[in-house]
Chain A
Amino acid sequence: MKRMTAMRARLTGLALLGLAAIGLAGHASAQGVVDAARAALPEATRQSGTLKVATSLQWAPFDYASESGEPVGIDISLMQLLAAKLGLKAEFEDLKFPAIIPGVQAGRFDVGVNQFDVNDERRKIVGQLPYFNSGYGLLVRKGVTGIDVNNLCGKTLALTQGSAQIAIAEKLSAACVAASKPEIETTFYPDSADTYLAVANGRGDGFLTARAVGVYISKGNPKLELAPGALSGMNSISGIIVGKSNEGLYKALLLAMKSAIADGSYAAVLDKFGVADGALTLEQIEK
């Protein structure tokens, strides 16, 4: 049964491509379009010509608004790349984080991106296509050397109140104490901007952050840089959210991703944002 529908989809895809070749469908050129991936798309999505993406533009450098108000970021560039490979145009809608997944579930959007962690709770309700591995690193004042990210015992970390990094720092500190080393000192600041400012001014030894964010901050702040290396055993895989029952789209995105890895355009997108070390291998994505 499934094979039948896939077969029919493929035939329709071929038919459409034929039309495109004659120039009746609105495709100027099928350049860069991965035929197999496009064929796997659900009929309605292919017909519409757009890939509707739900995001929240408050998460630099993954999803944010440029000065002119255009959506930009790692997730945005990647979705534009994948959409192009499917012969679609990515259309972004800027929601708030909690509304993204319900919007995809309702079918209002094809996919959702906002550096969503891939986890088992989400697996129950939506499909997740892994695309990025975010490690944790340490932002330090420019020119400071000799800090080992995986040995912070006795150092002082600047933290933002209420952030996820507090729990990480506590865990690391507990490990230090267990190994009878001095514990990690912490100082707290009300918001991220204050924390960066403090570290830039030489208060505390560093600021724990997702490496991608660290790269973005150090670009905008000439006094900060990202210390080499990542926290060991502290990875989080991010995934593209797809509707649970939308297997066709999932497969199409996977094939598009495959092609993007093969031709280097996936690596190029990550490299553009200085986060090439977060690239996933095909095996990790297909898991």
Chain B
Amino acid sequence: MSARLAMDTKGPSAAMSKAPEIVDPPRFGRWIGVVLVGGVMAWIVFQVLTNPGFQWDVVGRYLLNAGVLKGVAMTLQLTVIVMIVGLLIGIVVAVMRMSGDPLLIFCAHAFVWFFRGTPVLVQLVFWYNLAALFPAIEIGIPFGGPKFFEIPATVAISSFTAALLGLGLNEGAYMAEIIRAGLLSVDNGQTEASKALGHKPWQTFWIVVLPQAMKAIVPPTGNQVVGMLKYTSIASVVALYELMHSVELIYSRTFETVPLLIVAALWYLFLVSILSVIQYFIEKYYSKGWHRQDDRGV
């Protein structure tokens, strides 16, 4: 793009074209920074690659091991399902808390208080061994009414179900708070405007309030997903075969602890990277209309 062409397109401001071209001052500080950071990074990479303690040959041998891949699949599966369950519970509980109905508010409070306040490990072992307290899961009228049917709890609560209940309910309590904060971030005028348009309450929530609240909900939720991905490893306490457990089984046999922990770390990094990309696109979708087109940073 030549200066002349630029002048022609400027039209009325052509008279101003005598003004000198604006040039950014040289950023010496940044260049020094680039050299320093580059040097440090190169040194770290060099150390990591040449230090025999990392045993990269062992890492390479187990990175695509069938057992490890099975663990990766389980970790992903559990993370996705737990987050969906958590999100659904979170929406319900958050709406209950903001409903203004004293009973609903009390129930929501009690739920969040209990599931945020007890260790997940305790919850997992509790769900898994439900049979200790309730030998059978019955459907019927409580307090001694007739039973419609019953299943032994040990059969009903598998490892996966126990993990799902323990992690899902806990995540639901956290998500409820995130969603509540998101809903509070939407100005009250939006609700009023929606009512003025003749929307029913559920339309107001789904069409007007929630989409705007998403802008505040998505980043912390992404954070929760990343946390949950690693937190699923706690489910191995109830015999769930996930990523962390799969490498533990191998190094318990071979004592190659450090390289196998690196295998797990690489997989978690890889999965988190994918999740971050997905989060970026979701954020972009929900922040539509919040940025001026020419507002993008260079």
A162 on interface, CB distance cutoff 8 Å: no
B258 on interface, CB distance cutoff 8 Å: yes
Q: Is the CB of A102 within 8 A of B129?
A: yes
Q: Which of A54-62, A141-149, A257-265 contacts B (4 or more CB under 8 A)?
A: A54-62
B238 on interface, CB distance cutoff 8 Å: yes
Given A58-B252, A60-B252, A191-B257, CB of A93 within 8 Å of CB of B131: no
Number of chain B residues close to chain A: CB under 8 A: 25
List of A residues within 8 angstroms of B115 by Cβ: none
Q: Is the CB of A60 within 8 A of B253?
A: yes
Q: Is the CB of A193 within 8 A of B239?
A: no
Number of cross-chain contacts by CB at 8 Å: 70
A238 on interface, CB distance cutoff 8 Å: no
Q: Is the CB of A94 within 8 A of B129?
A: no
B interface footprint on A50-75 (CB within 8 Å = 1, 0 otherwise): 00000001111000111101000000
Contact among B128, B130, B154, B258 for A193, CB-based, below 8 A: B258
Q: Is the CB of A64 within 8 A of B252?
A: yes
Q: Is the CB of B125 within 8 A of A99?
A: yes
List of B residues within 8 angstroms of A99 by Cβ: 125, 128, 237-239
- Smallest Cβ-Cβ distance to B132: which chain A residue: A106
Number of chain A residues close to chain B: CB under 8 A: 27
Contact among A58, A64, A69, A106 for B67, CB-based, below 8 A: A69
List of A residues within 8 angstroms of B241 by Cβ: 94
- Which residues in window 249-267 of B have CB below 8 A to A? 249-250, 252-258
Given A93-B239, A98-B237, A106-B131, CB of A193 within 8 Å of CB of B255: yes
List of B residues within 8 angstroms of A272 by Cβ: none
List of B residues within 8 angstroms of A59 by Cβ: 252
A226 to B201 Cα, complex, angstroms: 76
Q: Is the CB of A96 within 8 A of B236?
A: yes
A64 to B253 Cα, complex, angstroms: 6
Q: Is the CB of A192 within 8 A of B255?
A: yes
List of B residues within 8 angstroms of A93 by Cβ: 239
A196 on interface, CB distance cutoff 8 Å: yes
B248 on interface, CB distance cutoff 8 Å: yes
Nearest 7 pairs between A and B by C-beta? Answer: A106-B132, A106-B129, A58-B252, A96-B237, A193-B255, A65-B249, A95-B239
7 extra interchain contacts, Cβ-Cβ under 8 A, other than A58-B252, A217-B255? Answer: A58-B248, A58-B249, A95-B238, A102-B125, A103-B129, A107-B154, A193-B257
